[in-house]
Amino acid sequence: MAESRMQKPPKGYSVRTLPGFAIVAIFTLITLYAPIAILVMFSFNAGTSMAIWEGFSLRWYQQAVANEAVQDAAMRSLFLALVAASVATVAATMAAMATTRTRHFPGKTMIYALINQPLMVPEIVTAVALLIVFAAIKVWTGHTSMIYLIVAHTAFCVPFAYLPIRARLETMDLSLETAAQDLYASRWLTFRRVTLPLMWPGIVAGLMLAFVISLDDVVITEFVKSAGQETLPTYMLGQLRRVVTPEVNAISTVILLAGAILVSLFFRLTSKRG
Amino acid sequence: MSEQAAYRPGELEAEAQAADNRSRWMLALPAVVIITLAAAGPLMVMVVYSFLTPGDYGNVVWKFSLEGWMNTLVQRDIFDDTLIWADAHLSIFWRSFSLSLITTVLTLIFGVPTAWFIATQPPGKREFWLFLITVPFWTNLLVRTIAIQELLRSEGVINLVLLKLGIIDAPIQMMFTNFAIGFGMTYVYLPLMVLPVYAAVDKLDFRLVEAAHDLYAGRWTAFRRVILPLIKPGIIAGSILVFIPSLGAYVTPRVLGGGKNLMFGNLIELQFGQGRNWPLGAALSLMLMAAVMIALMWYVRVTSREQSDG
């Protein structure tokens, strides 16, 4: 390198800079966003190409909105994510209260391992295991409603909802609840007026994370859904086998936007201290 | 004698403790039930299915058989019924392993400098850069894979630019190759490397690096002998976080690899589709799970050794 050993370090010499690292980092960040930027750009293309710009137009958005299969899949995705994320968040909140702020109790490790189990197993493995079980139940009962998707989504949403809620609970000040009970508040009143408001940001963050995770899921949905139960991601996966038009880009852009907004909100909620 | 004397010492406390345990279990019950029903339980059922006989049109016949497990590695020759290695499976295992390893190395090459760059920014700016890394991580994996697909297509942007510049005469076939899968997985899993390495660099005591420079270490020596050992836990965590989902990847190889370049996850799917061999699919799934568990155990061992060394 330029600095020979005996020379005085030049001005601005910092042990924090490593040669070439900044260039690689900038290159990486650009590469991370370029494909998404191109995808979004061509969703506004007037032509059918996804590489040649032929002018600005909203035709692919109009086409996607007018497409009944897309409407149907979008509504199903939203309904599923809303139900699964809500149920998962309630269950995760209760589980987080059970497993934090206590010494070790019998079964605590087991509960903890079970809640995190969906994170440890590859999604495709859970997906085929669910296919096996649900196929048997579907044959046995003849019942093929959305309930299978709701149950499956709720299960894998639980660990994602659990993480921020647990993190919030662990940093919470116990003395406030003790004070409430010293002032003769019942356990329920303490929970409702002190504990719940304090852990609320964690709960909302957990709900949003679970919502995004459910909305984005493709693997488990693909294996669990019955005929005619496409969600937006499985619909898009199916479309990829055919001739792809920028309609897919338009749907992708909307999903990206929704995800980015939710994640930004999540960041704001979890980064605020106190 | 007072009434309290009727209790043995510690008895009340033990009873209160038991009541607390019971109420904690009740609280955790909904989460435990949901996950047992729709995640952990079905895995147990799958163990049973791996020992059954495949049905003619998919599903299973309830008759014990080891064929499912045997078929993961060997197959019967259709002519003389001898057992031969299932070459197709072995090559898929090898592709999964090697592509996951390549993905891990590539995310290291690009991820470590990125994490370093972010962690050495002034404190106020770090959160912004970190946010830039995290947003793609939480955005839809399928959408990010589609973005890569559109880049790599024969009529995609990369080929178009190369043609325009006169570097190539005909489009390069990039889609449906191992390259496409490796490229795509590196792209989608990169944030998983950056975040833990960032956490490690963030904790790094730069006085130690200064000490190395004071002792006449060049930048490269300081990096290799001082920085790298100190951020090693982050690098190991990042590598595991990238390697494990790569090994079990399904969407990315399906979209970018096509029907010829299968990975482990796609081989599993095949058994539940055209393959019509559910026991084999179940056995393959359990193999994949075992591989993931081994990787996790290796990680736990390495990190606990690191901690006891430190």
Interchain pair A25, B118: CB under 8 A: yes
Domains and CATH numbers, chain A: 17-57 (no CATH), 67-271 (1.10.3720.10)
Closest CA of chain B from A136, distance in Å: 9
When comparing pLDDT for A130 and B76, which is higher? A130
Final residue of a domain: which of B61, B84, B107? B84
- Average pLDDT score over residue span B222-226: 88
Same domain, B62 and B100: no
Interchain pair A122, B244: CB under 8 A: yes
Domain, as residue range, for B69: 3-84
At residue B115, does pLDDT exceed 50?
A: yes
Closest CA of chain B from A201, distance in Å: 19
Same domain, B154 and B298: yes
Smallest Cβ–Cβ distance between B210 and the set A15, A17, A264 belongs to A15
Mutate to test the interface with A, among B143, B210, B300 (most CBs of A within 10 A): B143
When comparing pLDDT for B207 and B99, which is higher? B99
Final residue of a domain: which of B65, B84, B103? B84
Q: How far apart are CA A3 and CA A10, in angstroms?
A: 8
Same domain, B264 and B127: yes
pLDDT of residue B248: 94
User: What is the number of domains present in chain B?
Assistant: 2
How many CA atoms are closer than 13 Å to the CA of A245, on its beta-carbon side?
9
pLDDT of residue A104: 76
Which residues of chain A fall short of a pLDDT of 50?
1-4, 6, 273-274
Residues of B in contact with A27 (CB under 8 A): 110
ipTM of the complex: 0.90
pLDDT of residue B6: 64
pLDDT of residue A1: 45
Q: How far apart are CA A236 and CA A218, in angstroms?
A: 10
Interchain pair A151, B45: CB under 8 A: no
Same domain, B205 and B301: yes
pLDDT of residue A18: 80
Q: How confident is the model at residue B49 (pLDDT cuts 50, 70, 90)?
A: very high
Residues of A in contact with B221 (CB under 8 A): none
Interchain pair A92, B31: CB under 8 A: yes
Over residues B175-196, the pLDDT tens digits come to: 999 999 999 999 999 999 999 9
Interchain pair B147, A252: CB under 8 A: yes
Interchain pair B32, A128: CB under 8 A: no
Final residue of a domain: which of B37, B64, B84? B84
pLDDT of residue A51: 84
Same domain, B48 and B141: no
If you average pLDDT over every residue of chain B, what do you get?
90
Closest CA of chain B from A200, distance in Å: 18
Residues of B in contact with A31 (CB under 8 A): 110, 187
At residue B308, does pLDDT exceed 80?
A: no
Q: How confident is the model at residue B309 (pLDDT cuts 50, 70, 90)?
A: low
Give the residue from chain A lying closest to B215, CA to CA.
A5
Same domain, B39 and B111: no
Same domain, B229 and B93: yes
Give the residue from chain A lying closest to B270, CA to CA.
A128
How many CA atoms are closer than 13 Å to the CA of B6, on its beta-carbon side?
2
Q: How far apart are CA B104 and CA B303, in angstroms?
A: 18
Same domain, B149 and B296: yes
**CA distances for B15 relative to A246, B5, B284, angstroms:** 66, 16, 48
pLDDT of residue B50: 96
Q: How far apart are CA B34 and CA B47, in angstroms?
A: 20
At residue B5, does pLDDT exceed 70?
A: no
Same domain, B10 and B151: no
Residues of A in contact with B269 (CB under 8 A): 124, 128
Closest CA of chain A from B198, distance in Å: 12
pLDDT of residue B288: 96
The angle, 0 to 180 degrees and rounded to 10, between the axes of the packed helices B278-309 and B264-272 is 150
pLDDT of residue A274: 37
Q: Residue B291 maps to which CATH number?
A: 1.10.3720.10
Residues of A in contact with B299 (CB under 8 A): none
